[in-house]
Structure 1
Amino acid sequence: MASVFSVFALILLALVVFYRRLSAHSGAVVIALGWLLLGLSSPIFLHPLSLLILFAALALLLFKPLRMRFLSGPAMAALKKMMPPMSDTEREALDAGTTWWEKELFSGRPDWAVFEDIELSELSAEEQAFIDGETNALCAMLSDWQIHHETKDLPPEVWQFIKDKGFLGLIIPPAYGGLGFSPYAQSRVVSKIASRSTVAAVTVMVPNSLGPGELLLKYGSEEQKDFWLPRLAKGEELPCFGLTSPEAGSDAGAIPDTGVVCEQDYEGKRVLGVKLNFSKRWITLAPVATVVGLAFRLSDPDGLIGDEVERGISCALVPATLPGVEIGRRHNPGSAFMNGPITGVDVFIPMDMLIGGQEYIGQGWRMLVECLGAGRGVSLPALSTAGGEMGYLLVGAFARIRRQFGISVGKFEGVQEASAEIAASAYMLEAYRALVTRALDDGAPSVLTAMAKYHATEKLRGVVNHSMDILGGRGIQMGPRNFMALVYQTVPIAITVEGANILTRSMIIFGQGAMRCHPYLADELAALSDESADALPRFDALLMGHLGHTAEVFSRGILQGLGGGFLGKPKCGNSELSARWYRHINRYSAVFAASADIALLTLGGDLKRRELLSARLGDVHSQLVIACALLKFHDAQTPDEANELHAEYALKQCFIAMNTALAAFYRNLPIRGLGAALKAVFFPWGLPQWTPSDDEVRALGELIMQPSSVRNLLADKVYISADRHDAQGRIHYTYQLLVAVEKDYEHFLSLDKQGDLAGDSTAEKVASAVASGAFNQAQADAIVAYDDCRYDSLLTDAFDPTLADIDVRPLRPEC
């Protein structure tokens, strides 16, 4: 028994050494002393064989030549055989972009002082004025039903307004005639427009995300910037970007479109340039674009610019009027924004149309990956955030207005189960937007923006599905009264573009995240491909660091699991809620880092093909980021019950997702028993149960129907028409009436149910109530006005038999 106790004591000592991150020499001394002291009670530790094992391990750890011969050298040779080859496009994608807070979470030991110093972005006076002025004015011009089902396009006056007021130049600096807005301001502009019309939002967001504008800003020559950027900012040129091809969608690195370096006559002169042949599809704004940003594979078979024949993916600016360009046809993606194919046959462009000139030949894939951040981190999350907020505001209002069995449908617990999810999701989307756009101020974090694109669009899908469940027939029947059907129809577009969500989750988030965020992995792979004399010493240092890192996060995961996450409390946040949840994030960060290292160690390069496993690790990494976003956002708001309830519920959503992913990861590890062992050591008391209680579901389901600080916060970010006959305005206006009159209205319904009121119509019954002294005339007028609007808000549109024209016959006098 004493020997067993001593073994456990030694293991605990080792865990503490690694947890405390002692140096190799200090740790070796502590463990050696512990070993010898334990030998006083357990002679087995002083047995010659035991001492031989101890000193051999210490020598291997501390004596570098011995270590390189017997540990690092064999490990390096074995790993070279195990690692799969990496294509140039994969390498460029991994090298592109920057990292941010997501790297700290991957480390397993986040530096919370760094996170505490992060301040969320705020709008400048100019940005706020633009949103309050031009953006609101644009929103007032938009009718989503008209755009989708009548004109199939934005009206001409809307197109002109967008161009004249600078919406196409949000990212372009003022020096070139643009607005130069921050990523947060860009997101706010796009989301406010999206709350009114997805088509208008897409039209604005595309020139300000992946496209010639951003590529020119980062890589263009001064001549290209001076010529193109002012024209793009003023809307004199309308851009699109041709990336995806019939044979290459999400695998954009496999684009078959070609460019061949050659000499040809151009504008009366013999010039060096590129002859292009391309076929692009799914290109937003293509039907109306005047200039095309184009990605293609460049070759130089005649050696006109160097010795290499294949020069890699490059990017160019191609005026749509050049001979050989065919543009103007439209796809029909289920939404009326401009989207279509582009083809080109023997299109010649001079070298100065290559973005950045010859200096950037072959760097197109890297350029594109770095510029994907705007689309993934700003535009698509902005659309999703707007959808989440409108779902919160309108579905919450409708659930209070709509009555069944004598009460508001929002009071049924089955409905509250869905409405609580909508409430927490909308809060999460706003919080996530705030953190991700703040990250974009510091660079182009490719992994973080991939997370944002995937999880924001998936969260929107959940919000819209729950909304349709609650709305029922009111949400299904198409027509200008329907405020949800067109959003439901366009959700798959957001899921598909900027990298299909399945690909993003299963390959990109953890695949790139492991390479970009792991403290050692990328450098180790670089050392493995290095054939120089100093490769082994470099690899040895990295391997020792990696092993120490693995031991540290493994120890942190075990000890924090034993302590329920109470060890090492992060000094972060300003509330009891924050302190509690930061502890849990700290714990799960260590568990995630240790689990990821175990997967990398046991599966090696095969993890790349085990997409189900890597996707689950990516889920955990993503949810850690989202949880941090929620806490940062929560602490930035005025503390009250509404803020607490939304944040608590949304955080539980994050941890439920993490537990689900970790449980599935452990259950499906291919090495028998390994997953069960990991789950046992990291969660010795079982996986925590984060499922919201029924009381929490009821509380949040009730709160989404009530005026609150969170409702006001979300309403400030979107546009709701003041027109009571507008699809959105009708619900909002009726809700405002209900909030004011509900107490009297409930009393009126109670009197009517008891049979105390005379008359057939609401107006007659209310008059009877006035005569009996139950209400005064002002109360009566308010009840009748609300009931008329209530009925009107529940109606769906009816059409003639051909579905061509709306039949406007009222079923009851309109409000």
Structure 2
Amino acid sequence: MYVLLLIIIALAIIFGVPDIRRSLIARPAFKFFKRVLPPLSKTEREAMEAGDVWWDGQLFSGQPDWHELLKMPPPTFTPDEQSFIDNQLETVLAMIDDFDIIMHRRDLPEEIWEYLKKEGFFAMIIGKDYGGLEFSAAANSYIVARIATRSLSVAVSVMVPNSLGPGELLTHYGTQEQKEYWLPRLATGDAVPCFALTGPEAGSDAGSIPDHGVVCKGMHEGKEVTGIRLNWSKRYITLAPVADVLGLAFKLDDPDGLLSDDKSPGITCALIPTEHEGVEIGDRHLPLAQAFMNGTTYGKDVFIPIDWVIGGADYAGKGWRMLVECLSAGRGISLPAVAAANGHLAERMTGAYAFVRQQFGLPIGKFEGVQSAMGRIGGLNYSLESMRRLTVTALCQGKSPSVVTAMTKYHMTEMGRIVGNDAMDIHSGKGIQMGPRNYLANNYMGVPISITVEGANILTRNLMIFGQGATRCHPYVMKEMDAAANPDEEAGLRDFDSLLLRHIGFAAGNTFSSFWHGLTGARFANTPVSGETSYYYQQLSRMSRSLALCADVSMLILGGDLKRKEMISARLGDILSHLYIASAVLKRYEDDGRQQADLPFVRYSIEYHLHQIGVAFDGFYQNFPQRLIAGTLRFITFPFGIHYKAPADVHAQDVSEAMMKPGVARDRHTFLCYWQENAEDMLGHMELAFLSMHKLKDLYKALKKAQKQGTLEDDLHGDRLVEAALAAELVTAEQAEELRECEKLRMAAIGVDSFAFDDVKKGTFNAL
């Protein structure tokens, strides 16, 4: 007893007396922290500091405030935005023929280009003062996504000027003169922009761009001015072949100190008219099965005046921060919108096709093998739309959460790939035969484009999500890094000492809470709701605690090596990401009024993400290099083992059944899809067949029964089925006409396009 009391008193003195604590604990820890601190380059630090911390910080803290999440208002549209969606957007959707765009023109028709320019589709992020629409992230995302269900080529053409590019950079950083000159031209479409960042030697590692500029004197418009002599070679630049103005990122040197004492200011962004002397717009690329404009640009010894630098001379060398700050917002809108479109399209059309397409006398959606894939489509589409919506919520709040948008871009494009693969597997021949009625193939082949651009997914997962999240989202690490970097070591030590004490308490709290939740299955964790989903909140709170603990230990043990242990850090990033996605699912369920019809989708989705969290934790423990530490962490966080299972078969079956039922729930889950009530329409032919067959489902059931009884032959369809049913007096004349029309729609829906042999050889083919 006395020994315990002495230990308590000693600890109280050590931790309670600042000078003793600093001497015995803080100073040695400070030295250790500085030693293991991963070295950061200038560009890495700028990327680390870009953007905001949002709900990701709550999840990383181990104590997410669910009430705060649920009280965030979901994104809505202004009257102007809703009017544009109801009118201009619907008009352009009706103009799109994706088969013609890709297979015949390899370009958008001139009338679509002109309509997009005239109606401001390229000016959604430009302020009204400059003639733009000044739309919210919610409207931007919705418009791009809805177009993407019709044509990825048109969607990309719209999204690029409204994502990372001259319009956004000028809005945030341009001089008043630059804004007044360029933004009205961009808003009206008189100037089509592109932004040239990627080159042969710099893809995802954009900080290594070799394109180079030197500050010097030169002639411009008959006068000698201070400017930059540029050399560049860029590729994969969307809209470059049709661009009027080129946004260019390059490394800048100032050897003569014409701008400042800094001889190497670094990455800089400039805006250059493509008609300027020396600017070369090169050849087009042909991205997978798409027709959006993408190509190359070059320049050799091109002289530009210094006031063409975006933001003017004061912003020379600040280009990298400008880029990562803008990209963190755009990354959360453009490609996630395309992924959501793929999910909506896959769910709506696969549900319809699985009901319309029949084998062995049953819709193929009744077979368990098909239901397994349909469950994934429906469950992950619910996740996709939930994640899109939650990330847009952050952007509409004026936040620019770089870790959240990186997670959103990576996981939504990957989930989009999964649902696309499953939809193609179920559609089979219907999916692979190209033609005007094929609504899957072009988007399916475009998925790798989304995977590759705006930061390749491999890099995003392995380096960005946890690498940035561990420091930005952690409540203390970034502040401790700042303290360690303080040139006044004593001042840094004092700051570090204060942070360290709180960090120790934070780690201890997460350790004990993780173990307690592991012992109790998190049954005593707080939850903001009652009912079935309360269990999911408790499990996510538990996993948040476990992530915070494992992240702390990893940074402590591995230090700077964690930066190179990409497989370890990627798994921790996966845990954070699936926590975020599951949070989005639960919030959407609440925002939509806890719809009973959504519960199968919520169950599938949350159990999928919990299972992925369990897989990531298991991989982390198996591969953590310090085996004793790994075993200890596993015991603390999962004392009885990891028991999260993949979604049960019954959940997949419930989702697949819901996908094959017309009605409000199906419409809510697939509202991004555009289709026309026309049997020749890309989606309309399937939608009309699906609705018609549901209307006559009782009649079809009676005919199937008659076939089993031998009253009708088994292999009848189309007009033969109608005539046989009439002859057997199984249908009335009125029913026969309805059945005839339904059979016509059904056969068209399960059919595929075909083309005249000679026309295909000539390249002048149209569907037969």
CA distance in 1, matches of 2:252, 2:215: 7
CA distance in 1, matches of 2:399, 2:242: 31
Pairing partner for 2:500 from 534, 539, 543: 543
Q: Which has the larger radius of gyration?
A: 1
More divergent stretch after superposition (356-365 vs 445-454): 356-365
Whether the aligned pair in 2 keeps the contact of 1:642 and 1:709 (CA below 8 Å) is: no
Pairing partner for 1:439 from 387, 391, 394: 394
- What does residue 641 of structure 1 align with? 596
1:299 correspondence with 2:253: yes
Give the unaligned 5+ runs of structure 2.
none
Q: Deviations over 1:670-702 (max 9, x none)?
A: 112322221222122322334322222211111
Q: Deviations over 1:521-579 (max 9, x none)?
A: 11111111223031111111111111111111112211122221123413x34x52332
1:253 correspondence with 2:207: yes
CA distance in 1, matches of 2:623, 2:665: 40
More divergent stretch after superposition (618-627 vs 472-481): 472-481
Structure 1 residue matching 2:296: 3-state secondary structure: strand
Whether the aligned pair in 2 keeps the contact of 1:375 and 1:498 (CA below 8 Å) is: no
CA distance in 1, matches of 2:470, 2:716: 70
Pairing partner for 1:484 from 440, 446, 453: 440
Task: Map 1:654-669 to 2 at 5 A.
Answer: 654-669=609-624
Change (3 A) 1:806 1:280: closer
1:132 correspondence with 2:89: no
CA distance in 2, matches of 1:325, 1:568: 62
CA distance in 2, matches of 1:283, 1:384: 21
Pairing partner for 2:470 from 514, 521, 540: 514
Pairing partner for 2:61 from 102, 107, 130: 107
Percent sequence identity is 44
- What does residue 370 of structure 2 align with? 415
How far apart are 1:715 and its partner, in Å?
A: 3.4
- What does residue 454 of structure 1 align with? 410
- What does residue 370 of structure 1 align with? 325
1:769 correspondence with 2:725: yes
1:554 correspondence with 2:508: no
Whether the aligned pair in 1 keeps the contact of 2:281 and 2:296 (CA below 8 Å) is: yes
- What does residue 24 of structure 1 align with? none
Structure 2 residue matching 1:229: 3-state secondary structure: helix
CA distance in 2, matches of 1:535, 1:637: 49
Task: Map 1:565-580 to 2 at 5 A.
Answer: 565-570=522-527, 572-573=528-529, 576-580=531-535
CA distance in 2, matches of 1:260, 1:620: 45
Pairing partner for 1:607 from 562, 582, 592: 562
Letter in 1 for 2:692: L
Q: Deviations over 1:401-424 (max 9, x none)?
A: 111111111110010000010001
How far apart are 1:765 and its partner, in Å?
A: 4.0
1:792 correspondence with 2:748: yes
How far apart are 1:155 and its partner, in Å?
A: 0.5
1:317 correspondence with 2:274: no
Letter in 2 for 1:505: R
- What does residue 162 of structure 1 align with? 116
Task: Map 1:369-768 to 2 at 5 A.
Answer: 369-441=324-396, 442-532=398-488, 533-570=490-527, 572-573=528-529, 576-757=531-712, 762-768=718-724
How far apart are 1:618 and its partner, in Å?
A: 0.5
Change (3 A) 1:753 1:325: same
Pairing partner for 2:303 from 345, 348, 356: 348
CA distance in 1, matches of 2:44, 2:392: 26
Q: Deviations over 1:2-47 (max 9, x none)?
A: xxxxxxxxxxxxxxxxxxxxxxxxxxxxxxxxxxxxx3xxxxxx34
Whether the aligned pair in 1 keeps the contact of 2:198 and 2:236 (CA below 8 Å) is: yes
CA distance in 1, matches of 2:185, 2:636: 61
More divergent stretch after superposition (345-354 vs 379-388): 345-354
CA distance in 1, matches of 2:225, 2:272: 16
Structure 1 residue matching 2:265: 3-state secondary structure: strand
Task: Map 1:772-783 to 2 at 5 A.
Answer: 772-783=728-739
Normalised to the residue count of structure 1, the TM-score between the two structures is 0.91
- What does residue 98 of structure 1 align with? 52
How far apart are 1:760 and its partner, in Å?
A: 6.7
How far apart are 1:600 and its partner, in Å?
A: 0.9
Change (3 A) 1:69 1:409: same
Structure 1 residue matching 2:409: 3-state secondary structure: helix
More divergent stretch after superposition (479-488 vs 137-146): 479-488
Q: Deviations over 1:118-172 (max 9, x none)?
A: 1111112221221111111111111111111110000111100100111000111
How far apart are 1:427 and its partner, in Å?
A: 1.2
Structure 1 residue matching 2:252: 3-state secondary structure: strand
Letter in 2 for 1:113: H
How far apart are 1:57 and its partner, in Å?
A: 2.5
CA distance in 2, matches of 1:297, 1:764: 72
Change (3 A) 1:761 1:100: closer
Whether the aligned pair in 2 keeps the contact of 1:203 and 1:337 (CA below 8 Å) is: yes
Q: Deviations over 1:577-631 (max 9, x none)?
A: 3322212211111111111111111111111110001000001111111111111
CA distance in 1, matches of 2:597, 2:717: 39
CA distance in 2, matches of 1:116, 1:132: 29
Structure 2 residue matching 1:664: 3-state secondary structure: helix
Change (3 A) 1:487 1:232: same
1:281 correspondence with 2:244: no
CA distance in 2, matches of 1:761, 1:56: 89
CA distance in 2, matches of 1:775, 1:64: 92
Change (3 A) 1:685 1:806: farther
1:65 correspondence with 2:19: yes
Change (3 A) 1:607 1:766: same
CA distance in 1, matches of 2:757, 2:380: 39
More divergent stretch after superposition (314-323 vs 299-308): 299-308
Whether the aligned pair in 2 keeps the contact of 1:278 and 1:343 (CA below 8 Å) is: yes
Letter in 1 for 2:40: M
Whether the aligned pair in 2 keeps the contact of 1:261 and 1:301 (CA below 8 Å) is: yes
1:218 correspondence with 2:168: no
How far apart are 1:460 and its partner, in Å?
A: 0.3
Over aligned residues, Cα RMSD in angstroms?
1.7
Letter in 2 for 1:198: L
Whether the aligned pair in 1 keeps the contact of 2:717 and 2:743 (CA below 8 Å) is: no
CA distance in 1, matches of 2:536, 2:717: 54
Q: Deviations over 1:268-290 (max 9, x none)?
A: 11111111111111110011000
How far apart are 1:237 and its partner, in Å?
A: 0.5
Letter in 1 for 2:340: T
CA distance in 2, matches of 1:319, 1:809: 42
Structure 1 residue matching 2:731: 3-state secondary structure: coil
Q: Deviations over 1:631-674 (max 9, x none)?
A: 11111114333211111111111101101101111111111232
CA distance in 1, matches of 2:278, 2:200: 19
Whether the aligned pair in 2 keeps the contact of 1:288 and 1:328 (CA below 8 Å) is: no
The total of aligned residue pairs comes to 762
Change (3 A) 1:380 1:809: closer
Whether the aligned pair in 1 keeps the contact of 2:70 and 2:590 (CA below 8 Å) is: no
Give the unaligned 5+ runs of structure 1.
1-38, 40-45, 811-815
Whether the aligned pair in 1 keeps the contact of 2:236 and 2:294 (CA below 8 Å) is: yes
Normalised to the residue count of structure 2, the TM-score between the two structures is 0.97
CA distance in 1, matches of 2:646, 2:434: 36
